Each structure stands twice: as structure tokens, then as C-alpha cells.
Amino acid sequence: MNAEVLRHWAERLCEIPSSRSTTVLSVLGIQGSLVAHFNDFLVEPPPPGTGSLRVSERSGELFILELIPAGTAPVTPADLTPHFGPGRDVVRVHWQDPFPLCYRVELPGSPHYCDLFAYFPSPPAATTPALRLTLRRQPSRPA
């Protein structure tokens, strides 16, 4: 997994009209089966470069893709910033929670926008590897 793939996925999530998870995953080029996992789904097998990929739906449509990076090349703020711009700090709920940064992707005229949340084990420096990456898709707000 790398920042270029994450940017591509975020842009597609903005552009794809409201749709069921299987349709969206197909458009993203993510292969595998959706396996029920509590109230969500896991993609089995997970895509290359991920330890797991969880899919959450809201009202029957894809809402969140959450992945755990795996492999030899971690995703860091230094990787994300050239593709997403600077991340903004997000409040941690509990003292033991990971340190999140949020990167917003908005494309003019798209039906959705997408937030990438990157979670880090310590206050993120340029080379701190992300523990978890979450793409959250929301309907665009009228101008």
C-alpha cells in the first residue's frame, strides 16, 4: 500500500455515485470476497500491501474503507503530504488512542468528498509509520 494508491482510491470514492460496496470495490480494482465481520465486512483475501481491509456501510452504501498497512514500505506523513497536502490534527478521544491526522479530498462537481484518517503510534513526525488508514466517504455539501 502506498500514498499514490490511497489518493487514487480517495478520488474514485469522491466520483462514484452512491453505490453498494461490491460495486465500489470493483471500480476501485479491489478483488476478493466480502465476508461478514460483526456489523461490517472484511475483504478476503486483503489487497496486496494490506494486512486487512474492512468495509463499513451506511444505509446499504459504502461509507468507510479501513486498512491495516502491511509489507516493507510503511505509509508515513512524508509519503501522504505530496499526494494530499498537509494533514490536520484530529482530537484523540482517550489518552491511549493513536494520534490521527486527517487529509481531505474534494473534487469539484463530485457527489462525495473523502477524508483519509491516518493513525500513528506517537505524535506523527515525517517518518512515523501509520498503524491504520481509514477512507471515509461523505455526500458533498451543496455550494
Mean pLDDT by groups of 10 residues along the chain of 143 residues: 96 91 93 94 95 94 94 92 97 94 96 97 96 95 71
Give which of 115, 117, 122, 143 is closest to 132, Cα–Cα: 117
pLDDT reported for residue 143? 62
pLDDT reported for residue 72? 81
Residue 103 three-state SS? strand
Q: What CATH class does 3-139 carry?
A: alpha beta
Question: For the whole model, what pTM was predicted?
Answer: 0.94
Which residue type does 134 have? T
Q: Are 135 and 9 in contact (CB under 8 A)?
A: yes
